[in-house]
Amino acid sequence: MIEVLTGSPLNAIQDLGRPRTMTLGVSRGGAMDSAALKLGNLLLGNDIDAAGIEIVFFPFKIRFHADQAFAVTGARGVARLDDEPLPPDWAAKARAGQILTLHAPANGARSYVTFAGGLDVPVVLGSRSTDMKGGFGGYQGRALEAGTRLAAFPSDAKDMPSSGYGLAHPCDLPENVAEVRCLPAAEFDAFTDDSRALFFEQLWTVTRTANRLGYRLESETPLSLRSPLELLSHGIVPGTVQVPSAGMPIVQMADANTCGGYPKIANVIEPDLRLLAQTQTGRQIRFIRVELDEAVAAVRADAIRMHELGLALQSARATLLAR
Amino acid sequence: MIRISCAGAGALLLDAAHGAFNDSVQERIWAVARRMAALPEILQAVPGVNNLLIVFDAVQYDPATLEHSLRAVWKDTLVDASPAREIVLPVTYGGTFGEDIPVVARFAGLTEEEVIAAHVSGEYRVAAIGAMPGFAYLTGLDPRLAIPRRASPRVSVEQGAVSIGGGQAGVMPCTSPTGWHILGKTEEILFDAHRPEPCLFRLGDRVKFRRVG
């Protein structure tokens, strides 16, 4: 049993989301930095899509009421099990009574705590993710409040080295300016030549309103269309960069509406969505144009990297346990 | 003529719109969506308003191959023969949930009663489901009520609000921001994630409103 000690309307249970619910108007949802959640699960020998906690509001504290293996991944801040500091991208075993504390990250915006076995909450529409808009999934369809008690599915804790282990080289997080690759979208050519050039040349600042629905960006010069455009509502995926009439782009994120009507200038490619998810408010990003074959190659390279990481962690665990 | 564009590596958007909404194009969209959704390589086929988004796993499948299938299926599919259901929603017009009726009346040059009459006598069709859980884009709105969306959206509009915007009608399935204009309220539950069929509406349903209260 795990007890949440710090409440926040932003920290909630997520897995990899709902890949087939757009026809119901239900967002994909899931971990904003899906690679960090996957890594947290791989460190524990979980299924890659087991449910963990996405943390955006710090400090975050939980108390373990029973022995439990867990991992901390994603944004990097000071993490302590009682007084003992934990390295980044690390799995460890907590004893009953111990408290895990995550402080605000210096780098990155979202941390993930995963648990051996994965969190035991009901599957709703194919996923354990919290859908705040619909008020379902996760823990009773809402964020985690102080006092919320959660259980993990049983797992074989003997599979975890008692001293803990993790990545020697933690996952990259955006420093200074995040470079985010994207493909031109349906209305790219409807923007003026200047706007198309500026989209890639200007640095874009992540505004205060950036959240799980979307990242509103700001820069010096707004983008403009050659002529006004009225579009009928159409399906949009996370990564879609819309430009409302004021000319400042909004990147749709995990909990975005499934349909929209604003002109689309670009789509952030799937493996780079995590870079946006880990960019703090006030930091800057740059869009890098890629072609479709490069985007497909990047998606495949990302999948292969994650698969190889899973195998490497499995053999590292076996080696450590054999000692 | 259709236009197909990439929405990232793992999605394609087919746009069949030519200006205003077209009913027969929409029936073809539904039919193509049904056929595409049946292909093993497709994760989801999401009809929009005169357009269709297909989503697939780009690790396994090439966008170029799927674009080819999409074009072939479009060419080979004409109409959707599935029979339409009819759904009637009871609506209380006016009061706290009809705060935009005066605005719409001024826009349309009608009295408030005429606005209600125009809305309640409409025969609507579910063109697409999306934006928020269980929200249906209803076509068939009296063109006199085609008021543009509010200049700035309301931050929160309650579940059940019966609304119009951009020439379409809708009902809020959950409490959420919206830029549409509110005419009334229904008590019907449009979406429940725990029902076997979460959405009240299906694509192609014929929808009517009935005035109560």
- Span B4-13, pLDDT tens digits: 999 999 999 9
* pLDDT above 90 for A159: no
Residues of B in contact with A239 (CB under 8 A): 7-8
List where CATH 3.30.1360.40 sits in chain B: 3-76
3-class DSSP state for residue B157? strand
Contact A24 B51 (CB under 8 A): no
Domain map (residue ranges) of chain A? 2-169, 177-290
Chain segment A187-236, per-residue pLDDT in tens = 999 999 999 999 999 999 999 988 999 999 999 999 999 998 878 999 99
| Helices and strands, number each (H, E), in chain A | 4, 21
What is the CATH architecture of A177-290? Answer: Beta Barrel (2.40)
Name all contacts of A135-143 with Cβ < 8 Å and 24+ positions apart. A135/B174, A136/B193, A136/B194, A137/A13, A137/A29, A137/B193, A138/A12, A138/A13, A138/A14, A138/A51, A139/A12, A139/A13, A142/A12, A143/A7, A143/A8, A143/A9, A143/A10, A143/A11, A143/A12
d(CA B211, CA B213): 7
* pLDDT above 90 for A33: yes
In the prediction, which pLDDT does B100 show?
94
Residues linked to residue B139 through DSSP beta bridges, in sequence order: B125
In the prediction, which pLDDT does B20 show?
84
CA-atom Rg of chain A in angstroms: 20
DSSP strand pairing (B86-93 vs B51-56) = unpaired
* pLDDT above 90 for B152: no
d(CA A242, CA A157): 46
Angle at which helix A292-322 crosses helix A34-43, to 10 degrees, equals 20
Please list, in sequence order, all residues whose beta carbon lies within 8 angstroms of the beta carbon of residue B153, skipping any fewer than 6 positions away. Answer: B177, B178, B179
The residue type of B64 is: A
Chain segment B27-64, per-residue pLDDT in tens = 999 999 999 999 999 999 999 999 999 999 999 999 99
User: Is there a contact between B204 and B80 (Cβ–Cβ < 8 Å)?
Assistant: yes
Residues of A in contact with B64 (CB under 8 A): 292
Sign of CA dihedral B135, B155, B143, B95: positive
- Name the residue among B13, B59, B130 with its Cβ closest to that of A22: B130
d(CA B113, CA B177): 27
Contact B63 A292 (CB under 8 A): yes
- Is the CATH code 3.40.50.300 the one for domain B3-76? no
Sign of CA dihedral A255, A256, A257, A259: negative
Contact A270 B9 (CB under 8 A): yes
Interface of A with B in 180-219 (CB under 8 A): 183-186
Nearest chain B CA: its distance from A231 CA (Å): 8
Say yes or no: A16 contacts chain B, CB-CB below 8 A.
Answer: no
- Name the residue among B51, B58, B194 with its Cβ closest to that of A299: B58
What does the mean pLDDT of chain B come to?
Answer: 94
* pLDDT above 70 for A160: yes
Rounded average pLDDT over B182-196 = 96
Please tell me which residue of chain B has the smallest CA distance to A256: B131
* Assigned token pair, A245: 């009439």
Q: What CATH number belongs to B86-212?
A: 2.40.100.10
Q: How far is CA B189 from CA B157, B171, B201, in A?
A: 15, 10, 10
**Which pLDDT band, with edges at 50, 70 and 90, does B156 fall under?**
confident
Q: Is the peptide bond before A170 cis (omega within 30 degrees of 0)?
A: no
List where CATH 2.40.100.10 sits in chain B: 86-212
* pLDDT above 90 for B194: yes
d(CA A147, CA A2): 10
Residues linked to residue B212 through DSSP beta bridges, in sequence order: B92
Q: Residue A27: which of B44, B51, B19, B150 has the closest Cα?
A: B44
3-class DSSP state for residue A308? helix
b/e map A128-159, b = 16+ CB within 10 Å: bbbbbbbebbbbebbbbeeebebebeebeeee
ipTM of the complex: 0.95
A&B contacts, CB < 8 Å: 154
- To test the contact with chain B by mutation, choose from A24, A187, A211 the residue with the greatest count of B C-beta atoms within 10 A, namely A24
Contact B10 A270 (CB under 8 A): yes
d(CA A42, CA A158): 15
Chain segment A80-112, per-residue pLDDT in tens = 999 999 999 999 999 999 999 999 999 999 999
Q: What is the helix (H) or strand (E) element at residue A192, kind and residue range?
A: none
Contact A300 B10 (CB under 8 A): no
- Name the residue among A239, A259, A300 with its Cβ closest to that of B130: A259
In 10 A of CB B60, how many CB atoms? 11
Contact B131 A258 (CB under 8 A): yes
Say yes or no: A258 contacts chain B, CB-CB below 8 A.
Answer: yes
Chain segment B123-146, per-residue pLDDT in tens = 999 999 999 999 999 999 999 999
